[in-house]
Structure 1
Amino acid sequence: MITRSSLRHLRIPFSLFLMPVFLFALGLTPDLDGERVLLVFLALHLFLYPSSNGYNSYFDKDEESIGGLKHPPKVTADLYWLSFGFLFVALGLGAMISWSFASMLLVYALVSMAYSHTSIRIKKYPWASWFIAGFFQGYFTFAMCYVGLGNLGWDTMLKPHVFIPGLLTSLMLWGNYPLTQVYQHGEDSRRGDHTLSLKLGIKGTFMFSALLFALTGAAFAWYYMDRNQTDILWVYLGAMAPVMLYFLTWFRFVISNPEKYASYSWAMGMNSISSLLLNAFFIYYFLENTQVLQLFSQ
């Protein structure tokens, strides 16, 4: 029997926060096919990510707030099997496109399992967990989407037109990832998970993320200027301006009172505003880069 608590631990709406990577790949993939677009989207956002969320929740057994759940319900045994059920559906959808895409889904799932499983638990290693989470949720996922959307092979991952934008998505996540841990220091410490945010401290986490955000902005500026897309660059900077304003405001409050403002509510606010504006920007980029807007204007 599937319990309501297990369904909540899948945190399907939380997949919204990872959607910019899919949308970025969508905007750069030539010769799109509607069926493949739907299959890739469903495999990732409706099944693979929720499977990963549920599996990690099963082993973490959090009692305090986690991403997408301010008051996580108690974990039950069916969550373990439910997470595998969702994974098998994701792999089945992936196989409808190609074995290459399905195998990439499996690799992502295995790394995600290693992140939380007690026998490996990458999560307890601060720099390794930071790098691996950003790499696989960023570059690897971008390449995986590109492969699925274009019905291509593993060799596509190392091609410059995939590697460079994929690395940009990892930069975004490497900057934001430690901020998702600032409100979990107490529970992570008790569990022995030495996260990067715990290692850096609350103020150190914000300084580290500020540096990565600046690097990410510069990298995206170079990318769009190199592609002679200056107009796109200005739209990107306009979309990121409210995100940076929120971040700097949050940082100012944290400096005055770290214990009060390094909270779940502020962290989810940061995730919400950044994902909303990035999703909007990459939808615009898809429409502009694929010349869909021009077709409608004719």
Structure 2
Amino acid sequence: MTLRAVWLHLRLPFSVYLLPVCLFAMTLLPGVGNWWVALWVLFIIHVLMYPAANTFNSYYDKDEGSVNGLENPPPVDRTLFWVSMGLEGLALLGGLFVNIPFVVFILVYGAFMKAYSHPAIRIKKRPIASWLLISTFQGGFVFLMTYATLHDMSLWELLIAPAEVNLGLGTVIAFLNILALYPVTQVYQHVEDAGRGDLTISRLMGVRGTFINAWLCLLASGGCFLVFYRAQWPFWLMLSLLVPGVVHLAVLTVRVWKNPAAANYRAAMWMTRLTGWGMNLFFGIILTMEHHNWPVELRP
């Protein structure tokens, strides 16, 4: 494989659209504290951990058509497997400079993603299980992972800690957002998934069902955000920044209803881009205000 082919399979641009999960968790901290540690954690998750999972998945799927974050995937060989292992090794090594719980979180995430893609287990071919588990790990798990790491807490300490309403609600929101968007990233892969014998959740729901699910889960997420921000100005700011993504989703839904073929790679990726950048901008504003001790009033 060429270096360019390996680079493309890392799908680094797509990591940007997963960034809101971590930024959201960071807004719950009473002041992020050491920003260098926080940036190092974000780097490990988005530049090492996610690409390690992406390359592992690409190696075993050997996609020829568009996949999540990559319109024309180059052919793969064994090189990609070793790139995946190397990236995960670097993530674990980098995690040692943060704390041991972070290393454990990376190991757990990596083990799940291998079970998701590897032919011996291949959770991916089980539609409901893969949908729920991806939403759990890329949503709620990474949210808690970020929060716990920056608090120097293990998963066990996190589970037995006194209940905090915002932490629990934030975990549910992160889960719901991936629950909404994950099937949309599969909606243009139906033919290729069928050829491999993978009954994905999007194939199970159908093209129209995929978009109905997106609306229902996003509306549920919006309701949780309304409660989380207590209907105050941060909620309305977030809503305004998501207008382009919501409008695009509405237009796309109408087109798909008339012609399911309208649910192509570029249309689905534009929705991901618009919602991802809207959320990144929103949480970036909140974190900047918290850093400068401007009143945000996010915590009860």
Q: 2:184 aligns with which of 172, 179, 185?
A: 179
> Distance between the aligned counterparts of 2:214 and 2:185, measured in 1?
11
TM-superposed deviation, 1:152: 2.1
The 8 Å contact of residues 242 and 274 in structure 2, kept in 1 or not, is answered as: no
Q: 1:242 aligns with which of 228, 235, 244?
A: 244
Q: Does 1:257 align with 2:259?
A: yes
> Distance between the aligned counterparts of 1:184 and 1:152, measured in 2?
39
In the alignment, what sits opposite 1:78? 79
> Distance between the aligned counterparts of 1:5 and 1:100, measured in 2?
33
Unaligned regions of 5+ residues in structure 2, if any?
296-300
TM-superposed deviation, 1:62: 0.2
Aligned residues between the structures: 290
In the alignment, what sits opposite 2:229? 224
The one-letter code sitting in structure 2 at the alignment partner of 1:220 is F
In the alignment, what sits opposite 1:55? 56
Q: TM-score, normalised by structure 1?
A: 0.93
The 8 Å contact of residues 6 and 80 in structure 2, kept in 1 or not, is answered as: yes
Q: How does 1:142-181 map to 2 (within 5 A)?
A: 142-154=143-155, 155-157=157-159, 159-160=163-164, 161-181=166-186
> Distance between the aligned counterparts of 1:210 and 1:43, measured in 2?
32
In the alignment, what sits opposite 2:213? 208
> Distance between the aligned counterparts of 1:288 and 1:169, measured in 2?
22
> Distance between the aligned counterparts of 2:148 and 2:138, measured in 1?
15
% same residue: 36
The one-letter code sitting in structure 2 at the alignment partner of 1:163 is G
> Distance between the aligned counterparts of 2:130 and 2:81, measured in 1?
22
TM-superposed deviation, 1:288: 2.8
The 8 Å contact of residues 124 and 193 in structure 1, kept in 2 or not, is answered as: yes
> Distance between the aligned counterparts of 1:118 and 1:232, measured in 2?
44
> Distance between the aligned counterparts of 2:14 and 2:183, measured in 1?
17
Runs (4 or more) in structure 1 with deviation over 6 Å come to none
In the alignment, what sits opposite 2:197? 192
> Distance between the aligned counterparts of 1:282 and 1:271, measured in 2?
16
Q: Does 1:26 align with 2:26?
A: yes
TM-superposed deviation, 1:13: 1.8
In the alignment, what sits opposite 2:298? none
Q: TM-score, normalised by structure 2?
A: 0.92
The one-letter code sitting in structure 2 at the alignment partner of 1:189 is A
The one-letter code sitting in structure 1 at the alignment partner of 2:242 is M
TM-superposed deviation, 1:78: 0.7
TM-superposed deviation, 1:57: 0.3
> Distance between the aligned counterparts of 1:275 and 1:157, measured in 2?
29
The alpha-carbon distance between structure 1 residues 100 and 135, as it changes in their structure 2 partners (threshold 3 A), is same
> Distance between the aligned counterparts of 2:38 and 2:111, measured in 1?
24
The one-letter code sitting in structure 1 at the alignment partner of 2:11 is R
The 8 Å contact of residues 108 and 136 in structure 1, kept in 2 or not, is answered as: yes
> Distance between the aligned counterparts of 1:202 and 1:9, measured in 2?
26
In the alignment, what sits opposite 2:8? 8
Unaligned regions of 5+ residues in structure 1, if any?
none
> Distance between the aligned counterparts of 1:217 and 1:164, measured in 2?
12
Report the RMSD for the aligned CA atoms in angstroms.
Answer: 1.6
